[in-house]
Amino acid sequence: MRIYPITFYTFLIKDGDLDGNVDLIAKTCTCKEFDVKEFDVNQLPCAHALTCIRLRGFSFVDYCSPYYLSAFLVTAYSGEIHPVGQPSEWLVPEDIASKIVHPPVGRRGPGRPKKNRTPSFGEEVTQRRCTTCHRVGHNSHTCTSPKSSRPSSGMGSTSEIGEASGSHVNM
């Protein structure tokens, strides 16, 4: 991502396919994740805006909703929280009480769950390179190049190592 300042608060962004503008005063970005309408929904700046905020040395807190601050969390739990009582004493509306909630339709697939994480926005995925043939797409354990062209590890076989150290005992 490349950032080009236009004014002190506006920037030109070149991020792959996106060529757009960030305006820190209006809290807008052409990616629409920092736009005023979107800002009302998630109330957090996008990655482009965060880069511009960091470039100018501003505080990220000034561009986020106050709902994300610890003071609001403390305020939310500052009042009394009363227990709800027994389920038989609850006053549940009839339209809600008549609904039956069924278990999920989909089932977990067999086997171990997928371990790979989803890359973040803007994160570049690098492919592995084989240390034997230096080609992309596999590693040295799955390399198909002939074993004779592979460099040795520099250590001899176990029998050669034992003879060199004198640990073999002939009887």
Evaluate if residue 134 carries a pLDDT over 70.
Answer: yes
Q: Residue 4: enclosing H or E segment and its boundaries?
A: strand 2-5
DSSP states of 106-159: --PPSSSPP-PPPPPTTPPPPPPB-TTT--BS--GGG--S-GGGSPP-S---HH
What is the pLDDT, as a whole number, of residue 38? 47
Evaluate if residue 29 carries a pLDDT over 50.
Answer: yes
Evaluate if residue 122 carries a pLDDT over 60.
Answer: yes
Q: Residue 5: enclosing H or E segment and its boundaries?
A: strand 2-5
> Per-residue pLDDT averaged across 49-69, rounded?
87
List all residues 6 or more positions away from 135 whose beta carbon is below 8 Å from its beta carbon: 129
- pTM score: 0.45
- pLDDT tens across 136-147, in order? 888 888 898 876
Evaluate if residue 75 carries a pLDDT over 60.
Answer: yes
